[in-house]
Amino acid sequence: MNYANEHNITLDINGKNEDEWFPIFSATHIDVNNSKIVKLLMDYADDNNIILNINKKNKKGRSPLMNSICSNNVETIKLIMNYANKHNITLDINARDEDEWFPIFSATHININNSEIVKLLMDYADDSNIILKINEMNNKERLPLMNSISSNNVETIKLIMNYANKHNITLDINAKDENGWFPILSASQKKVNNSEIVKLLIDYADDHNIILNINEKNNNGFSVLMDSICNNNIKIIKLIIDYANKHNITLDINAKNNDGFFPILLASQTKVNNSEIVKLLINYADDHNIILNINEKRNDGYSVLMDSICNNNINIFKLIIDYADKQNIILNINDKNERGNSLIFVAIVESVNNSEYVKLIIDYANKQNIILNINDKNKKGYSNIFAATANNVNNSEVVKLLMNYADDHNIILNINEKCNVGWSPLIGTISSNNIESFKLIMDYANKHNIILDINEKDENGWFPILHASEKKVNNSEFVKLLMDYADDHNIKLKINEKNRNGDSSLIWFISNNNVEAVKLLFDYANKYNIIMDLKENQIGNSINYINNEIIELIIQNKSCRKLNIEFSKNSILLKKLGCYYEKSNKMADNKRKTKKEFLKLKKEKNKLENELYEMKISQFKEKLRNLIKNVENNEIIEEDYYEWKIENFSNIQNHKSSPEFEILNHKWKIEINVCKEGIINLKLKSMDALYLSTNKFIYANCVFAIRNNNDFSCYKASCSYHKFGKNEPEIVLNDFINNKNLKIKHENGITSLLENDSFINGIYIRIYRNDINANKNNNIL
């Protein structure tokens, strides 16, 4: 602008681009929305005698005034109005854009919702003798009044009503938008829920002899009464009822919305759950001789009674029963919802005070001579008796009520029936850790000569005694009761059975450190000559915390060959059994046990130590074997390991030899030699090589090793290949290790190879048919 002024250039400030945007339009647009720019444009226009086209529109039919309103910019609106007045321009304040939006409609919209702008528009209209089209709708059939209600703006609503009265305009307060909403329904919706607005509309209607369509619904089937019930607004409900009574309108209190909800059912749903509203509806129905459809259900099959149970509202439940009695209505208490749940099932599963509701339902059924379908199942296969025993219910009082009802009506409960996942009521009581309900099931079965399926598995392979052993139950009393029941009915319990994961009751009880239960299982196994199986890797981390009494039971049954144990690699259980033997020996000495008992324990200890040693030596041999590189196309004839314990190492004599040993019928000796510098040299000598013919050899890879006596992970090893023959009958490994460097860093820390002046010298020999360094074949003895 300054540049234009300096060079006498007149800017085209009314010029449009291809979208018909022009400077003042752009300055008022929501993306700019800058009143300082608007002021600059107006000042420039005045200074250059240019009249701004403030009524002009862009291609979408928007004017600068509409832009300013949509941008919620009061300052810009005032600038435009003042500019128009100053230049005798009449603003087109009823003009519509392509969406049929117009200034007062935009000002009342929820995104703007500005009563100051509404007041500016009304004052401008009055000053300019313009009548605002406040009854006009946009393309979605919404009125400015509806906008103000949806925006919960009482001040704007009053401004519109006062403007209408002042200009003798009758507001269309029953008009619907495209979604079927109308003013009084909008006032009762959740986001508004304003009784003051409802009262304003009622008063306006009365003042203008308009009858409000209070029974009308929106496209979702909601009426004003329904919405006000959903929002728990008793004040609006009473206003609607009073208005209906005053104008002789009968409210449709049985009408359903699109989801099948009707007023009394809405009042009992979770988010409302209001007995006062239920009373208001019952009283209204009685006053107008209307019979409430209390047996009706919504689309998911829930009735008023079901909802009252789910929401633990005993008052609504009793109000419905009393209303039914008063009106001689028989309640459909055997009906089911879409999940297949009956009223009594809902009472058992979905109520906090389930036993109280079950009593009320049974009392009502008896009073009305209705037989409850107590053996019915829902879609998951759950029966009422199973539901009463399940984890989330676990109520022995309800179990008793069902059993007593069944006996009173000569009904036999299907206590062996299983749900879709294979659980019976008996399993339900065990899983819930409810001994009382468990005993009730057993007593009921005995009373009615029913044999319980105590060995039956569910779909995951679980069965009663295995359920009793799982961590959340871990109850030996169930084991005792099951064993007693099995004995009484000549049933042999499958105590060694496993589920799909390979878990057995013995494994679980050991993992849970339940000494009593483990003893019961072993006693039962001994009684019926059952050999138990135990896989150590199934026990998991619990192996580290096993009780000594359980260790003793394992030893006793293993020694009697009543228990098969599959030890895991690096067995912790084996070590624990070994430790226990050590303690048992000490106890035997301390308590002066008989020689026979002591020898038996010692024999078992030696056997166990041998098993442990064999496991460790096997793992150590594997480590040494892995040091030998694979040789392709060369047959291995034999490989084996020998070790020799070196005692009194500090006084060892040079050229100390091991006893003679055999591998592949060849005799060998190991020799150890310690130099003055403390260097240890190792030698392997073939005792047979001297007697070989000159063209015959023994081809072997040799792994020399020195290890700690007790810690197999503390060792040093080195591999070397040699062709033993008449001229070279021995292999020497010089500088194997310095006796000053006998401390070795290994997987368990840092340990010395030398312990109590002793260590183990080992040799692993692999013998080949041919020389691995030559293509030609040679014979071997």
The reported pLDDT for the residue numbered 141 is: 85
Neighbours of 284 (CB within 10 A): 21
The reported pLDDT for the residue numbered 449 is: 97
The reported pLDDT for the residue numbered 353 is: 80
The reported pLDDT for the residue numbered 139 is: 86
The DSSP annotation for 194-224 comes to -HHHHHHHHHHHHHTT----TT---TTS--H
Mean pLDDT of 642-671: 90
- Average model confidence (pLDDT) for the chain? 91
Mean pLDDT of 2-12: 86
In terms of phi and psi (left: phi > 0; alpha: psi -120 to 50; beta: otherwise), the region of 141 is left
Q: Are 467 and 473 in contact (CB under 8 A)?
A: yes
DSSP 8-state symbol, 545:
G
Q: How far apart are CA 464 and CA 443, in angstroms?
A: 17
CA 422 to chain centre: 23
Mean pLDDT of 235-262: 97
The reported pLDDT for the residue numbered 596 is: 63
The reported pLDDT for the residue numbered 172 is: 95
Beta pairing class for 679-686 and 730-738: antiparallel
Q: Which distant-in-sequence residues (6+ apart) come within 8 Å of 149 by Cβ? A: 157, 183, 186, 187, 192, 197
Q: What is the pLDDT of residues 117-150, one digit of tens each?
A: 999 999 999 999 999 999 998 888 899 999 999 9
The pLDDT confidence band at residue 358, using thresholds 50, 70 and 90, is very high
Q: What is the pLDDT of residues 269-292, one digit of tens each?
A: 999 999 999 999 999 999 999 999
Comparing 507 with 594, which gets the higher pLDDT? 507
Comparing 343 with 778, which gets the higher pLDDT? 343
Is 0.75 topped by the overall pTM? no
Comparing 220 with 573, which gets the higher pLDDT? 220
Q: Are 760 and 630 in contact (CB under 8 A)?
A: no
Cα torsion angle, 130, 75, 39, 61, sign: negative
The reported pLDDT for the residue numbered 476 is: 96
CA 363 to chain centre: 40
Q: Are 138 and 144 in contact (CB under 8 A)?
A: no
Highest mean pLDDT among 321-335, 495-509, 622-636: 321-335
Residue type, 700: A
Mean pLDDT of 159-167: 97
Q: Residue 58: is its pLDDT beyond 80? A: yes
Cα separation values, 400 from 358, 389, 405, 680, Å = 11, 11, 8, 83
Q: Residue 357: is its pLDDT beyond 70? A: yes
Mean pLDDT of 34-51: 94
The answer to which of 489-498, 553-562, 667-676 has the lowest mean pLDDT is 553-562
Cα separation values, 308 from 261, 280, 303, 475, 560, Å = 14, 16, 9, 37, 62
The overall longest dimension of the chain from CA atoms, in Å, is 136
Q: Which residues pair with 702 in a beta bridge?
A: 720, 765
Q: Residue 593: is its pLDDT beyond 70? A: no
Highest mean pLDDT among 522-531, 534-543, 765-774: 522-531
The reported pLDDT for the residue numbered 780 is: 33
The answer to which of 226-235, 564-573, 640-649, 685-694 has the lowest mean pLDDT is 564-573
Mean pLDDT of 201-212: 98
CA 348 to chain centre: 25
Q: Residue 732: is its pLDDT beyond 50? A: yes
The reported pLDDT for the residue numbered 597 is: 64
The pLDDT confidence band at residue 542, using thresholds 50, 70 and 90, is confident
The answer to which of 80-89, 181-190, 259-268, 561-570 has the lowest mean pLDDT is 561-570
Q: How far apart are CA 330 and CA 321, in angstroms?
A: 9
Q: What is the pLDDT of residues 375-427, one digit of tens each?
A: 999 999 999 999 999 877 889 999 999 999 999 999 999 999 999 999 999 99
Nearest to 501 by CA among 511, 486, 487: 511
Q: How far apart are CA 758 and CA 709, in angstroms?
A: 7
The answer to which of 172-186, 544-558, 682-696 has the lowest mean pLDDT is 544-558
Q: Which helix (H) or strand (E) holds 767?
A: strand 759-768
The reported pLDDT for the residue numbered 543 is: 78
The answer to which of 309-313, 494-498, 577-581, 734-738 has the lowest mean pLDDT is 577-581
Highest mean pLDDT among 262-276, 527-541, 575-589: 262-276
Q: How far apart are CA 752 and CA 209, in angstroms?
A: 108
The reported pLDDT for the residue numbered 779 is: 36
Q: What is the pLDDT of residues 739-754, one digit of tens each?
A: 888 888 877 788 899 9
Mean pLDDT of 218-226: 97
The reported pLDDT for the residue numbered 579 is: 67
Q: Are 273 and 319 in contact (CB under 8 A)?
A: no
Q: Residue 602: is its pLDDT beyond 80? A: no
CATH, range 632-768: 2.60.210.10
Q: How far apart are CA 347 and CA 623, in angstroms?
A: 66
In the chain, where the domains are located:
442-461+479-616, 632-768
SS (H, E, C) 499-544: CCCCCEHHHHHHHCCCHHHHHHHHHHHHHCCCCEEEEHHHHHHHHH
The pLDDT confidence band at residue 567, using thresholds 50, 70 and 90, is confident
Comparing 614 with 328, which gets the higher pLDDT? 328
Q: What is the pLDDT of residues 699-720, one digit of tens each?
A: 999 999 999 998 888 999 999 9
